Structures are given as C-alpha cells and as structure tokens.
Amino acid sequence: MSYQRNTGRNPLRRVTGIHPNNLEIEMNKYLSTLIAQAKRERSVAIHNAKLFSAVVRSRGIELACLDERGELIDREFDVKLTQKGIREEVERGIKLHGAVKFAITGGVDGADSVWEMNNCEYEPMVECWDTEQFTASEIGVEVES
C-alpha cells in the first residue's frame, strides 16, 4: 500500500504535458471548427448553384469514409451536423468499412422550376462541397486495434 500524499494533480499531466480535460476541450473545438467549415462550404455551394439554377435543393450531409491514402471507401448518408451525430457516424464508418480518415461532404441539385425538381428532371450535383480530412482520434473517437 502506498502512502503517497494526494497532491490533487493528475499523473497524466506529467507524462503528456496536457491535462486530460484540456485535451477533450481541444477535440471539441476542432470538431466545432469542422462543423462550422461544413456549414460555410454548404452555404457557398448553395449560393453558387443559385447562379446557374432557378431552384436548388441540398442533397444532405454525408460522411465520406476514406482509407489511409484518402481514397473513398464508402459514404454514410443523412449525417446530423452535430458533434454527437458526427462521432456516431465515424464509429459506424470504422466498424463497417474500416475507414481511417473522414471528411464531411455534400452537394446541391439544380432545376429550372419546382415542377422539374419534384418530377426528377433536375441536374444532379450542380455544386458539391467538402471539409478537410480528419481522423477519428482528432475528434475524440477511440479506435480499437
């Protein structure tokens, strides 16, 4: 039994130089930055699509599952643009596809009228957008070896 005095300090802080709570805060900040980037990119894509089409519709938000070289493996569709939603889809992408890297992506369809858009006479993907690539560990998702 050790009689070491409790100094209130976390032993991990000595090893990594970063308090565990601060590391979690940094991961949340990074993920918030990715979400903000996705919203900005989506907004720019919608604006650009409106220059060419009278009616536009977002295709939704997807999570691109990538291999170690950044090549597309598969996509997870209908991703919620929240920290929890992205983390859940990253975990799913790792389990189902063995993905190593990820990116948040999306696109915009365009048409000349609402009738064309609703009757499948639209131009698919008149604009597309994506965020920078990231790994699971950068956003706080544990990867099992």
Which pLDDT does position 15 carry in this prediction?
A: 45
Helix, strand, coil shares of the chain as percentages rounded to 5? 40, 25, 30
Which pLDDT does position 2 carry in this prediction?
A: 46
User: What's the burial of 135, exposed, middle or buried (CB within 10 Å: 0-12/13-18/19+)?
Assistant: middle
Element (H, E) at 104: strand 101-111
Task: Spell out the per-residue pLDDT of the chain, length 145, in tens.
Answer: 444 454 555 444 444 555 556 777 888 889 999 999 999 999 999 999 999 999 999 999 999 999 999 999 999 888 999 999 999 999 999 999 999 999 999 999 999 999 999 999 999 999 999 999 999 988 888 877 6
Which pLDDT does position 145 carry in this prediction?
A: 61
Residue 27 · residue 140 · CB < 8 Å: yes
